[in-house]
């Protein structure tokens, strides 16, 4: 199957990309549909399947987790928690080069996130916000098409920097009933001893509501497939979540001087994640656009994950020739991509004008894929247009800021008339009476 970039006009891109805006559950492929049919014994859509699994886990705890892991993953996991000796063995058996890479990446990610740590109260002695880390969080590390130890680093490190006391990792079980060795190795490297071999909606439900052997968490973070994302949406409110993650996205603005081969390589790098991934190149140079199309076809055809890339390109990959850089920037802002790459002579000029992107990579020597591993900023990013209102996962996502009010009598007296007036305007005399009672005692 060949992979090609379709050529779209700016107006066509707007219409074409509109279908990805806002959270939508991904369409299931034939294999996933057949899996649900086998697991449930009847035709069922993804959302109904997720809700049924969540209800079962809430009602039956560990038994339900084991049952659904068997039905969905085809693995009988009698105990989800991976023994700590197995975690240590996984790290010890990792090749020295991979272990060194994980350690170096962890150090750089930690150093970047340390800058976000906040311990100072915000306000004055009478009224302030106090930073407090969450007590317990769950970090989901996907399995399936690939292992993602980098996701373990990106999810766990900011939680530890924030001061979270208890971190639990969940990842789909392997055939042996454990988790992927690289996920186990990354957990051990970070000092996390609680790793559960469970995936999908049953993992999210177990973290959100707890079971006999798994304590419930305050917040769940980390990307996953359609079932994980739907489950996170379903449990939100009973537990916090980071975001609703969709397929990977990259948008490149390529200007004069950009190397078409670099642009094509970046597009391919993100499409290899998932058949539903998005890749778009915007340029004001028709000849550059033609070069990107040619280089993309060549790079995609020889890629190791060519089938996935071709499937994604057939759905969601395009090149657009814009009339100006201003038009390109406006289209990029409307798209609000997860990853925005700026390449060519105007890259630095455009960098600080970007207003809607999860992560910005500026210049030829800043490939998007370096951000997936070791640049420093988090690779858990908003998708499906959510970059309009949030950025990467950060230390702040693992903090809460309760407000504290501690007035002296004179401070209360000085503000009481304002409160009386507003309480009267709102028709809530009891509010004013609670203040007046204190001041009358003082007199």
Residue whose C-alpha is closest to residue 23's, from 332, 237, 245, 278? 245
Residue 426 is among the residues annotated as catalytic for this protein: no
Residue 338 is among the residues annotated as catalytic for this protein: yes
Rg of the chain, C-alpha, whole Å: 25
Phi, psi (rounded to 5 degrees) for 395: -60, -35
Q: Beta partners for 368?
A: none
Which one of the listed residues 338, 348, 379, 431 is annotated catalytic?
338
DSSP 295-348: HHHHHHHHSTTHHHHHHHHHHHEEEEE-SSHHHHHHHHHHH--SEEEEESTTHH
Q: Beta partners for 343?
A: 254
Residue whose C-alpha is closest to residue 337's, from 249, 402, 260? 249
CA distance 119 to 398: 13
Q: Is 382 helix (H, G, I), strand (E, B) or coil?
A: coil
User: Are the CB atoms for 165 and 436 separated by under 8 Å?
Assistant: no
Which one of the listed residues 196, 339, 379, 411 is annotated catalytic?
339
Environment class of residue 432 by beta-carbon count within 10 Å: exposed (0-12), middle (13-18) or buried (19+)? middle
H helix and E strand count, the chain? 18, 16
CA distance 328 to 323: 8
- Planar angle of CA 290, 291, 293, nearest 5 degrees: 65
The count of other CB atoms within 10 Å of the CB of residue 139 is: 30
Q: What share of the chain is helix, strand, coil (3-state, %, to 5)?
A: 50, 15, 35
Environment class of residue 314 by beta-carbon count within 10 Å: exposed (0-12), middle (13-18) or buried (19+)? middle
- 102 sits in which H/E element: helix 96-114
- 197 sits in which H/E element: strand 195-197
- Planar angle of CA 269, 274, 279, nearest 5 degrees: 50
CA distance 168 to 17: 36
Q: Beta partners for 234?
A: none
Catalytic residues: 338-339
């Amino acid at each position: 199957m060949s992979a090609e970039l379709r050529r779209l006009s700016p107006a066509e891109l707007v219409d074409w990309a509109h279908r990805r805006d806002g959270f939508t559950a991904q369409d299931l492929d034939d294999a996933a549909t057949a899996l649900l049919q086998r697991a449930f014994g009847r035709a069922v859509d993804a959302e109904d399947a997720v809700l049924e699994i969540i209800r079962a886990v809430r009602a039956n705890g560990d038994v339900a987790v084991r049952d659904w892991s068997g039905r969905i993953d085809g693995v009988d996991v009698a105990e989800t928690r991976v023994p700590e000796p197995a975690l240590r063995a996984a790290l010890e058996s990792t090749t020295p080069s991979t272990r060194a890479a994980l350690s170096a990446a962890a150090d750089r990610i930690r150093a970047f996130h340390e800058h976000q740590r906040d311990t100072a109260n915000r306000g004055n002695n009478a009224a302030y916000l106090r930073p407090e880390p969450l007590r317990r969080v769950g970090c989901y590390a996907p399995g399936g098409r690939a292992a993602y130890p980098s996701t373990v680093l990106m999810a766990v490190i900011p939680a530890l920097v924030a001061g979270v006391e208890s971190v639990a990792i969940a990842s789909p079980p392997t055939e042996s009933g454990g988790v992927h060795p690289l996920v186990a190795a990354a957990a051990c490297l970070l000092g996390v001893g609680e790793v559960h071999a469970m995936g999908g909606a049953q993992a999210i439900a177990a973290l959100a509501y707890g079971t006999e052997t798994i304590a419930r968490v305050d917040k769940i973070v980390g990307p996953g497939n359609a079932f994980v994302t739907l489950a996170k949406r379903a449990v939100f409110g009973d537990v916090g979540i980071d975001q609703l993650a969709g397929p990977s996205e990259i948008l490149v603005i390529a200007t004069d001087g950009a190397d078409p081969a670099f642009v094509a390589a970046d597009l391919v790098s993100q499409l290899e994640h998932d058949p539903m991934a998005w890749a778009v190149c915007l340029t004001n140079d028709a000849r550059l656009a033609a070069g990107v199309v040619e280089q993309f076809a060549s790079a995609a055809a020889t890629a190791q994950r060519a089938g996935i890339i071709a499937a994604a390109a057939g759905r969601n990959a395009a090149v657009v020739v814009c009339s100006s850089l201003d038009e390109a920037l406006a289209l990029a802002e409307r798209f609000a991509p997860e990853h925005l790459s700026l390449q060519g002579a105007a890259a630095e000029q455009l960098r600080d004008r970007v207003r809607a992107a999860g992560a910005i990579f500026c210049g030829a020597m800043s490939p998007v894929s370096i951000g997936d591993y070791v640049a420093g900023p988090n690779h858990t990013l908003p998708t499906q247009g959510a970059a309009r209102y949030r950025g990467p996962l950060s230390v702040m996502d693992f903090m809460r800021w309760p407000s504290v009010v501690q007035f002296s009598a004179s401070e209360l007296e000085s503000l009481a008339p304002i409160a009386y007036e507003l309480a009267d305007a709102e028709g809530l005399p009891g509010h004013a009476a609670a203040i007046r009672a204190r001041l009358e005692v003082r007199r």
